[in-house]
Structure 1
Amino acid sequence: MTLASNTVASTGTNQKMTKSQFKTYLTLILISLYCMVPFIWVVLASVDPKASQFLRIPESVSMEHYWNLFANQSGLRWILNSIVINVSATIIALVFAGFGGYAISRTKAWWKLPLLYAIILVRIVPPPALIVPVYKVMLTLNDWVNALINAVFTDVATQQTMSRAFSFVDGYLGLILILAAMQLPLAIWIMKTFFDAIPIDYEESAAIDGATQWQTVRKVLIPLAMPGFAAAGLFAFINAWGDFLMPLMFTSSPELQTLPLGLFRAFLRVDAIDYGFLTALAVIYTLPAVIAFSFARKFLTQTFSGGVKG
C-alpha cells in the first residue's frame, strides 16, 4: 500500500509540474508574441505596397520601398554616414579603451580607484547636461580648424570638402570624436576588468622568452583580451549607432545626417507619412546591430585558453 501510494503521489506531482511548466511556457510565448508584434508590423509593412499604420497581411509582396530608399531618397547617404561615423567612433574607443584599461589594470598607484570612479561618473551624467559645455568647446576648436583650412587651401570647393570632413561642428570628425568619447568610459571599465583577469605571469614569461613589448601585446595580451574587445566594441557600436541627440545637435547639413535623424525626418514629413519608406528604413537601421552582435558573439564565447592558442 505504501509503494502504491508513493507511486500515485509521484505521478500526481509530475502532472502538477507538467501543468505548471505548461502555464509558464504559455505565458512566455504570449509575452514574446506581444513583444514581437511591432517587429512583425515593421517587416510586413516594408514589403507591402499599400503599407499603413495598422498591422495587416500584405496582398502582395514588393521591394519597392527598399528600392525607393536607395534610389530616390537620401537613405543611402544616411546609411553610409552612419556606418562611417559609428565604425570610426567604435575603433577609436577600442584603441583608447585598450591602452587605458591595461594601464589602469596594471598600475598600483593611489589614484587608481578615484580615477575609476571619475571615469564611470562621466558615463552616469546625462548627455543633455553636457550639450552646452561640449558644444562650446567644439565650437572653439571648429573656429581654429576652419581658420587653418582657409589658410592652407585657396579653392572654395576644396575648403568646403575639407571643412565637412574635419570640422568639429557640422563635420565628420567632430561627430566621430564625440560619439567615441561618449562610449569610452564603459569601454575602459570593460577592458580593465578583462585585463585584471589576465595573469601578469603571461607577460613575464613572454619577456623571459625574448619577446619585445610589441610582440607581447600582439601575441599574448590582444588574443587573451579579445572577448573584452568584442564586448566593449559591441556595446560601443550599438550605443553609438542608436545615438540621436549628438547627431541632432552637432550636424545641420543634410549631407551629414545619420539614420536616426533620417527616421526622425521621415516621420515628421509635412505631407502624409510614407509608412512603407519608414519601415524599410527601420529594417535597414536594425540590421547592423544584429550583424555586430552575431559577429561579436563568436569572441564572447572564447575561453582564455583558446585565446592563448590563437
Structure 2
Amino acid sequence: MAKRPQLMAYATLSLISAYCALPFFWAALASFDGNASLFLKWPEDWTTANYTRIFTVENGLTWFMNSLIVVGAATVLTMVLGGLGGYALSRSNAWWKRPFLYTILLIRVVPPPALIVPLYKVLLTANRAVQEVLRAVLPPDMLRPAMRVFGLVDGYLGMILILTALQLPLALWILKTFFDTVSRDYDEAALLDGASLMQRIRLVLLPLALPGLAAAGLFAFISAWGDFLMPLIFISSPELQMLPLGLFRAFLRVNTVDWGFLTALAVLYMVPSVVAFGFARGFLVRTFGGGVKG
C-alpha cells in the first residue's frame, strides 16, 4: 500500500514527460524524412538533405554566425556587468539598494512589445550620430561595413546592447543573491594580504563567482537565443539576419510548408541551448543550492 502512491506519481510523471517530448520526437524524425508532413510518422525515405540544404541552398551559416556573434557577445557582456553590479549591490549598505533592485525587476516585467517604439526612436537618433562620426573618419566605401558592426539600428552593436539590457536585470538579481552567500571574510583576507582591487577580483572573487556567473549566463543565453521580436524589428539587412528570422521565413514559404527543412532548422536551433545547459548544469545546481558558504 505504501508503494501505490509512489507508482501513481511515477506513472503521472511518465505520461507528462512523454506528452512534452512528443513534439521534439516528431521534429527529430521529420528532419530526416524526405517526405515529411505535419503528422507524426516513421520516415520511409531517410535522408540528411534537409540539413545540408540549410547550409548549401539557404543562408543557414550566415544565420548561425550572426546569432552566435550577437547572443554570445550579449551573454558575455551580461555576465561582466551582472557580476560587477551584483557584487557591488551585495556589499553595499546604501539606502537606495532595495528600491533599485525592485525598480530593475519591474523594468524586466514590462512586456518587450511595449518598449519597441520608444527604444526604436532612441536608437535611431543615436544611430544617426554614430553614422556621422564614422562618416567623418572612414572612407565612403567603408561606411556601410562599419555600420553593420557599430550601427545601433540594423547593426551588431545595437542588437548586442538591446539583448544585454533585456537580460541584465535578472542577472543582477541572480548574482547579487549569489554574492550574499559568499562570506566577506574572503574579501577581508585578500585585503589584509595586500591584494589590489583587480587582484581580488581575478584571484578571489572570480573563482568563487563562477557558479553564479554560469547560472546568470545560462539564463541570458537561452533567453537571448530565443528572442524573435527584437531581431525582427531592429534587423533588416539580409546579411545580418539571425536564426529566429530564418526559422520564421522558412515557415512562411509560398504555397506550402517544407516540413523537412523547417524541422531540421528547428533541431539545429535547439542544439546551442541544450549544449549551454549541459555545460552550466552543475553550476546551476550549486548556485540555487546555497552558493558558497564561508
In the alignment, is the contact (CA less than 8 A) between 1:105 and 1:193 conserved in 2? yes
2: CA distance, partners of 1:114 / 1:36: 42
Shift of 1:154: 2.1
Give the unaligned 5+ runs of structure 2: none
- The one of 94, 100, 108 equivalent to 2:79 is 94
Q: Aligned partner of 1:181: which letter?
A: A
- The one of 48, 55, 59 equivalent to 1:70 is 55
1:217–1:23: structure 2 CA closer, same or farther, 3 Å change rule? same
1: CA distance, partners of 2:92 / 2:255: 60
Shift of 1:216: 1.3
2: CA distance, partners of 1:72 / 1:127: 34
1: CA distance, partners of 2:42 / 2:33: 8
In the alignment, is the contact (CA less than 8 A) between 1:69 and 1:281 conserved in 2? yes
Q: Indicate the residue corresponding to 1:188 in structure 2.
A: 172
- The one of 254, 258, 261 equivalent to 1:274 is 258
Shift of 1:147: 1.2
Q: Which structure 2 residues correspond to residues 138-287 of structure 1 after superposition, within 5 A?
A: 138-156=123-141, 158-287=142-271
Give the unaligned 5+ runs of structure 1: 1-15
Q: Which of these two proteins has the greater Rg computed from alpha carbons?
A: 1
Greater shift, 39-48 or 267-276, is seen at 267-276
Greater shift, 168-177 or 145-154, is seen at 145-154
1:307–1:20: structure 2 CA closer, same or farther, 3 Å change rule? closer
Shift of 1:301: 4.3
Q: Indicate the residue corresponding to 2:109 in structure 1.
A: 124
- The one of 284, 287, 293 equivalent to 2:277 is 293
In the alignment, is the contact (CA less than 8 A) between 1:105 and 1:195 conserved in 2? yes
CA RMSD, 1 decimal:
1.8
Local SS of the residue matching 1:194: helix
1:115 has 2:100 as partner: yes
Shift of 1:299: 2.5
In the alignment, is the contact (CA less than 8 A) between 2:182 and 2:292 conserved in 1? no
> What TM-score, normalized by structure 2, do the two folds share?
0.95
Local SS of the residue matching 1:225: helix
Runs of 4+ aligned structure 1 residues displaced above 4 Å come to 301-308
Deviation string for 1:34-82 (max 9, x for gaps)?
A: 1111111100000111111111001132111000011111111111111
In the alignment, is the contact (CA less than 8 A) between 2:31 and 2:261 conserved in 1? yes
Q: Aligned partner of 2:67: which letter?
A: S
1: CA distance, partners of 2:290 / 2:34: 53
Q: Indicate the residue corresponding to 2:34 in structure 1.
A: 49
How many aligned residue pairs are there? 292
> What TM-score, normalized by structure 1, do the two folds share?
0.90
1:83 has 2:63 as partner: no
Deviation string for 1:119-175 (max 9, x for gaps)?
A: 11110111111111111110011001111122222232x111001111100111101
Local SS of the residue matching 2:153: coil
